[in-house]
Structure 1
Amino acid sequence: MRETLMRRWLVEDFGLGVVEIAPVGHGADVAAQVWQAKTVANAYAVKWSGAGSNTGHQVAAFLADSGIEGVPEAVRTVDSGLWSVHAKKRLTVTPWIDGARAAETGLTDEQWTQYGVLLRRVHDAEPPERLRNALPKRSPVDSRIPELAEQIDARLTTEPPEDELEERLAAVWKEHADTITRLLTERPPEPSGPRVVCHADPHLGNVLVNASVHLIDWDDVVLAPREQDLMFMLGGMGSLGPTTPEQRSAFFTGYGDVEPDPDAVAYYRHVRAVEDVVLWAEQAITGPDREDSLSILSGVLEPGGLAHLAANGRG
């Protein structure tokens, strides 16, 4: 049924006569579905999402139209729009990038340098005033975290577990209660530095590699100090960021001269850690992929994980 709807929407909205379509399983965004659609001549990435804001897709289209290599271009609708809407979710289409996922293959030093060049071009971009003013100043996820954290904490500490996996989740939550409490109650002051266009989630899970390096999934774009993105390159993201001094050096060779504000880096590390703890715990309760979600949460909370580093002011 969903495949039939997708085929119809792609013809009616984008003028694409699809001969083959299949879901793509990558990504942690439970609010989005991604498909690969093929016409006789081309392949496309199709995303149907209720996450983030529509300004993210507008920014990505602006960056691609500005000639920034590595940002997927937007396929326009038959009415020259950037997306269509079905069931209150955006349907967007970009050309399919036939490349390896960097989260699985890693990046060579040369590719880290290419990625540095790409992210610097994003940060140096100057969108039209209308678009700049429309950009959120912080992640939409951030506003719902406190209430959700309170609900999850109450469930895992005062209510009997509904099954064996939730029992294990409650044990992890209890084991790391001190770290979680510090994360939820000791938020650093928000930085006030100059704001630039930030992808907000530029870890290797959102990077594809072929002859070039490509940054995908622009749903969460914000207007923020560049440390919002550079935090991912400055410790705490495990294998989803640079893991050696050589890789970090290669990235900044491409990115260019910059002196990140350590307090701003600490702030964005803290914010991301809170999001990871709360949202992975929620997904471990509600699904999908409950077992994997619990495993990821455990890694985030262990020594060396992002939450542990953020709560202890290290990284």
Structure 2
Amino acid sequence: MDDRLAARVAEAFGLTVVAAVPVEFGADPAAVLWRVSTRDGHEYAVKLSGGGTPAGLVVTARLARRGVPGVPAPLTTRDGRLSAVHDGRRLTVVPWLSDERADADGMRPAHWRRYGAVLAAAHAVPVTDELAGLPREDHTHAATAAAVRETDRRLRAVDDSADRWTREVAAHWLAAGTDVARLLDRVDRLGAELRLRPAELVVCHGDPHLGNLLLGPGGQVWLIDWDDAVLAPRERDLMFVLGGGPAFASEGRVDEAAFRAGYGPVQPDPVRLAYHLGVRALDDLWSWSADVADAGRSEADRVRALRIVDGLLSPLGLVSLARGALRDLGRWDH
């Protein structure tokens, strides 16, 4: 953290930073996170973000006021705002909660129950005027569809003059090309169907995979990174456990019974689960493929992105799970 940013934290939030350590997290290239220590002996997560929307801060502040455990409240600025601006990006501060990010191996039944309870609490919060401005799910996935088509065009044009990593990801894409095109077609059809039968819209996290979950003692969990908060059918969140869980928890170790015990009785719509699973699969596939083909990235980043593409296309990967969900609905083979 440079001196200018530390000064901005002091000016906006009244915190004197004495140490700051950058933290690697997530896949958002527009976000940077630090673990900072302040003169009064406390620790905070300081984040600069250019992605998502500030609406997630409103959600977390509201949930924290309602006493929902597992949702960290953002600090307010000296003038009562939930964020400040630094170099054109959103600057936020929340208490540092835990060093332990969730993964399937570390999740115990108590964690899965708390995870379900946190999502249930978010989905139950009344949509008051302050939350009515959240983005709304419209089942059009227009940006994802356009990006998939553009990535397909780019990678099909790759020839022997391209560098190694671009050639490799192009080969992966072409090998999966029929499935990708069919998946986009089926998702388009499901979106058109769902636009004709609206569902209740609830406050959703939007991206509650295990990487956005921190673990604490006694089964404590905290759900972080609410930048993608959205008003959507509850399946938008439930897809991560009840639809695509095996892809988001390594080797499929999902304790669905414990999650349901925390969430409460629910019968998610399998069509909505399949839709959101398909959109996520396409979004991940095009974005990570584009990262591999980006010659401006480091070789390490490109290698990591290629591994993720391999995983997405593997038998237990997200593309395969989306295809399976559509097949279960009888929507894949015709």
User: Shorter-chain TM-score category?
Assistant: over 0.9
Match of 1:295 in 2: 307
CA distance in 2, matches of 1:150, 1:224: 25
Matches within 5 A, 1:192-203: 192-203=198-209
Whether the aligned pair in 2 keeps the contact of 1:184 and 1:274 (CA below 8 Å) is: yes
Secondary structure of the residue aligned to 2:130 is helix
Aligned to 2:183: 183
Distance in 2 between the 1:224 and 1:250 partners? Answer: 24
How far does residue 232 in structure 1 lie from its aligned partner after superposition? 0.6
Q: Is the 8 A contact 2:22 2:35 kept in 1?
A: yes
1:113-168 CA deviation, whole Å, 9 max, x = no partner?
A: 1111111111111142x223201113999442233222221221113263111111
Q: How far off its partner does 1:244 sit?
A: 4.4
User: Cα offset for 1:7?
Assistant: 0.6
Deviation at 1:184, TM superposition (A): 2.2
Structure 1 vs Structure 2: percent identity of aligned residues? Answer: 39
Paired with 2:53 and 2:79, the residues of 1 have a C-alpha distance of: 21
State the distance in 2 between where 1:139 and 1:43 align: 39
Matched residue type, 1:178: T
Please give the secondary structure, in 2, of the residue aligned with 1:131: coil
Tell me the SS of whatever aligns to 2:82: coil
| 1:283 equivalenced with 2:291 (yes/no) | yes
Runs of at least 5 residues in structure 1 that lack an aligned partner in the other structure: none
CA positional deviation for 1:297: 1.3
Q: Are residues 115 and 53 of structure 1, via their aligned partners in 2, closer, same or farther at CA, if it must alter by over 3 Å?
A: same
User: Cα 1:77–1:142, aligned 2, differ >3 Å: closer, same or farther?
Assistant: farther
Is the 2:246–2:253 contact (alpha carbons within 8 Å) kept by the matching residues of 1?
Answer: no
| One-letter amino acid of the structure 2 residue matched with residue 308 of structure 1 | S
Return the match for 2:323 from 302, 311, 315: 311
- Quote the Cα distance in structure 1 between the aligned partners of 2:229 and 2:140: 12
Aligned equivalents of 2:90, 2:140: Cα separation in 1: 17
Asked if residue 208 in structure 1 is aligned to residue 214 in structure 2, the reply is yes
Aligned partner of 1:110 in structure 2 is 110
Distance change (3 Å), C-alpha of 1:235 and 1:147: closer
Q: Which residue is equivalent to 1:225?
A: 233
Determine the C-alpha separation between the residues in 2 that align with 1:111 and 1:38. 28
My pick for the range that moved more, 144-153 or 300-309, is 144-153
Structure 2 partner of 1:55: 55
Listed one character per residue, the Cα deviations across residues 172-201 of structure 1 (whole Å, up to 9, x for unaligned) are 001111111112222113362111100011
If the length of structure 2 is used for normalisation, what is the TM-score?
Answer: 0.88
Aligned residues: 312
Q: SS at 1:106's partner residue?
A: coil
**Cα distance between partner residues in 2 of 1:239 and 1:300:** 8
Query: 1:101 aligns to what?
Result: 101
Query: Quick check: 134-143 or 103-112, which moved more?
Result: 134-143
Q: 1:63 to 1:140 in 2, by over 3 A?
A: farther
Deviations 1:52-97 (A, max 9, x none): 1111111111111221110011111111110011232110100001
TM-score, reference length from structure 1: 0.93
The alignment's C-alpha RMSD in Å is: 2.1
